[in-house]
Amino acid sequence: MRKIYVLDTNILIHNPHSIYSFEDNDVILPIFVIEEIDGLKRKQTTAVQARMASRVIEEIRKKGCLSKGVQLENGIFFKVEVEDSKELLPGYFKNDVVDNRILAMTLGMRKKYSDKKVILITKDINMRIKADSLGIEVQDYESDMVEYATLYDGYYEIEISEEKFKEFQKTGKCYPWELNMKEHLTPNCFVKLKYKDQEVVGRHMNSKIVKFLNGDISAWGIRARNDEQRCAMELLMDENVKVISLIGKAGTGKTLLAIAAGLELTVERKKYKKLIIARPIVPMGKDLGYLPGGEDEKLRPWMQPIFDNIDFLSENKEEKSGEKVISGLQTMGLLEIEALTYIRGRSIGNGFIIIDEAQNLTPLEVKTIITRAGENTKIVLTGDPYQIDNTYLDANTNGLTYMAEKLKEQEIAGHITLKKGERSKLAEIAAKLL
């Protein structure tokens, strides 16, 4: 039976092509959504997605009349609805609130098409609560949802015999089928082989488990402190792994390791032409508004965590101050630190790119970033899915989690979840208990 799906504005901002996800069903877009999209074009954080959504709707308009409805591929019937049904809302709902008008229109759709199931799709939690209180069937947009609780860590443990343990230590390799492993090993995942109180970690490559090549090296003056960080360093220093996701709570060292590896490969070994570090500009809490000064001064508050990490690395390497290191590398064209907004539209070749706080990105934004990569470019995305500041994202729908799951079978991709905190004892206790 065909269903009618009413889309909220945030669905199109999350994925402008979401209209095409509802095969063999009717998709209704309230006119209020168009008005909201028009307003979101003027906001820095949503301008690009809003314009993309407008272009998608414009392409549909060219195929037919939006008020009468347009038949799309995959059996989708799309229509922009203008009929208001605010009289169906209880009196205590304010009529000048766009969300309430969308709820009213959904109630009108349900009354008009009583023979069909009408479902409101929204990523707004409060909108879902209000819809449910009105008896409206409501759902989140699940087409690009990944269950974070079941996301693989990129890391497995297995007990093996004394014979196999000694053989691995001697030859530096073994094969999964020799170990009776039940797990499906993805490319570039890691396996801790254990025999009694002895253990050794190997990496799954080319259908076999091999010893580390890069996990124990020093990168820009620092070394990995635990097995998880060794796994991360192994991926970061391997030029054949082109895209990496590092997930972990605060203090696990994901950003520090990524920057250290980037500086080592770019500045010391000259494997890449430049190191580019970017972060999405998403405020935690109330936004401070426009900041004074030029571009560098405006970006400084957002990029301060990056400066802090480089300052720590410089001190650890007994170099001059972090400020002078950054200034010198930028002058030589080896380092770029910028807002993520400026990367969109570029084609970056021969670069080492770090996207910090990637949990605040949508799957579409992550796709846009990765497709910027040119020849001999490596991209590292770091973040913590439990520290999301984007209103319409959560641990299951953010781009970082989505990328880790979708690319796990690719030979040029790697993922590791860092769990052990290394920042300080206080930071580790806070991350666990608060």
CA distance 282 to 135: 34
- Per-residue pLDDT, averaged over 35-41, amounts to 93
pLDDT digits (tens, 9 = 90+) for 99-140: 999 999 999 999 999 999 999 999 999 999 999 999 999 999
What is the average pLDDT value for the chain, to the nearest integer? 89
* Residues 417 and 249: beta-carbon distance below 8 Å: no
Amino acid identity, position 2: R
DSSP 245: E
Q: Which two tokens stand for residue 254?
A: 């994901």
* Residues 392 and 13: beta-carbon distance below 8 Å: yes
Answer yes or no: is 153 within a domain. Answer: no
**Are 270 and 374 found together in one domain?**
yes
Q: Which of 6-10, 27-31, 267-271, 293-297 has the lowest mean pLDDT?
A: 293-297
pLDDT digits (tens, 9 = 90+) for 224-242: 999 999 999 999 999 999 9
Q: What is the CA 274 to chain-centroid distance, rounded?
A: 23
3-state DSSP assignment of residue 80: strand
Residue 407 reports pLDDT greater than 60? yes
**Are 253 and 113 found together in one domain?**
no
At which of 113, 139, 165 does a domain end? 139
**Are 372 and 255 found together in one domain?**
yes
As a whole-number percent, the residues of the chain with pLDDT over 70 amount to: 93
3-state DSSP assignment of residue 291: coil
Q: Find the CATH number of the domain harbouring 369.
A: 3.40.50.300
Q: Is the pTM of this model over 0.75?
A: yes
Question: Would you tell me how many other CB atoms lie within 10 Å of the CB of residue 239?
Answer: 13
Cα-based distances in Å from 225 to 49, 106, 169, 215, 422 = 40, 55, 21, 10, 8
pLDDT digits (tens, 9 = 90+) for 281-293: 764 444 445 445 5
**Are 268 and 135 found together in one domain?**
no
- For residue 298, the enclosing domain spans 226-433
User: Does 30 or 348 have the greater pLDDT score?
Assistant: 30
Give CB contacts under 8 A, 24+ apart, made by 127-134.
127/8, 127/99, 127/102, 127/103, 130/99, 130/100, 130/103, 131/103, 131/106, 134/89, 134/90, 134/103, 134/107
Answer yes or no: is 219 within a domain. Answer: no
pLDDT band at 424 (very low <50, low <70, confident <90, very high): confident
Map tokens 């060219």 to a residue: 62
Answer yes or no: is 278 within a domain. Answer: yes
At which of 139, 169, 185 does a domain end? 139
β-bridge partners, 200: 193
Answer yes or no: is 245 within a domain. Answer: yes
Whole-number pLDDT of residue 298: 58
Q: Please state whether beta strands 378-383 and 208-211 pair in parallel, antiparallel, or not at all (unpaired).
A: unpaired
- 218: closest CA among 260, 185, 159? 260
- DSSP for 309-377? HHHHHHHHTT-S-HHHHHHHHHHTTSEEEEEGGGTTT--B-SEEEEETTGGGS-HHHHHHHHTTB-TT-
Whole-number pLDDT of residue 321: 67
Q: Which two tokens stand for residue 227?
A: 């097995």
Residue 200 reports pLDDT greater than 60? yes
Answer yes or no: is 31 within a domain. Answer: yes
Number of structural domains (the chain) is: 2
Q: Which of 45-49, 112-116, 159-163, 293-297 has the lowest mean pLDDT?
A: 293-297
pLDDT band at 426 (very low <50, low <70, confident <90, very high): confident
Question: Would you tell me how many other CB atoms lie within 10 Å of the CB of residue 325?
Answer: 20
Answer yes or no: is 33 within a domain. Answer: yes
Q: Find the CATH number of the domain harbouring 64.
A: 3.40.50.1010
**Are 119 and 231 found together in one domain?**
no
User: Does 374 or 345 have the greater pLDDT score?
Assistant: 374
Whole-number pLDDT of residue 44: 74
pLDDT digits (tens, 9 = 90+) for 261-310: 999 999 999 999 999 999 887 644 444 454 455 556 556 666 788 888 88
* Residues 400 and 359: beta-carbon distance below 8 Å: yes
3-state DSSP assignment of residue 45: coil
CA distance 9 to 140: 12
Answer yes or no: is 250 within a domain. Answer: yes
Answer yes or no: is 374 within a domain. Answer: yes
Could you give the angle at the alpha carbon of 355 between the alpha carbons of 261 and 51, nearest 5°? Answer: 160
At which of 93, 120, 139 does a domain end? 139
